A = this chain, B = another copy of it.
Amino acid sequence: MPAQTVVSDQTRTRLIDAAGEMFAELGFHHTTVRQICQRAGANIAAVNYHFRDKTGLYTEVVRQSMRAARLDAVKAAFDQTAPPEVILRAVIKARLESLRSLDLSDWHFRIFAHELAKPTPAMNVVVNEAIRPLYSRMCNVVGSLLHLPPEHEKTRLCAHSIIGQILFYAFARSVISRLAPEMKMTSTQIDLIADHIAEFSLAYLRQTNRKRLPTKGKKR
């Protein structure tokens, strides 16, 4: 029993890789196991053998795509020791960065888009393991910028405003390319967008501080 695992893991891994790309591109129901197996160079029965059934492979792909890829970059941007403004800028840029390489393994996000449109049982995994940690960190940063607790309603609203701006470019990319064709997602363009979102958001955060703490600009 301890043996074979080397060989088996090869096709197992290839199946996850192939399935990840296809699930991200086509969604769960559009992707057929035959396509996956063909892309992975495996037999049609391989999915059922290694993952019980198609949904078993899907949940494994979702779980895999959590720990991988750009979420780490975003998390790293959050966890650095720096002033909250710097952290905010870094997070925005890190998240937008992943839009540059559209053909790269940007699984987790496109899969997430499919989950939003038609949630599957894997939705809870996605939210709890990937979204919630980042969301609470965002509330922490915004809260420290506003000098309000992270759970405060105003903190939440501002966090949503920032997240919404970022997600817009991720979700509506196909629409943006039709509405504003001159907006190519080049590296410099992404920097420009990231700076804009940061400035746009900080304008309100600073103004709010100025109103509530008119004299001193210290921390809390």
Contacts and interface: CB of A to CB of B under 8 A. Distances in A.
Given A113-B117, A178-B127, A204-B199, A168 B169 contact: no
A114 B166 CA distance: 19
A110 to B, nearest CB: 8
Interface string A130-158: 01100100000000000000000110111
Contacts of A192: 153, 157
Interface in A167-220: 167-169, 171-172, 174-176, 178-180, 183, 192-193, 196-197, 199-201, 203-204, 207-208
Contacts of A199: 204
Contacts of A132: 178-179
A41 interface: no
A80 interface: no
Interface of A: 26-27, 29-30, 110, 113-114, 116-119, 123-124, 127, 131-132, 135, 153-154, 156-158, 160-161, 163-169, 171-172, 174-176, 178-180, 183, 192-193, 196-197, 199-201, 203-204, 207-208
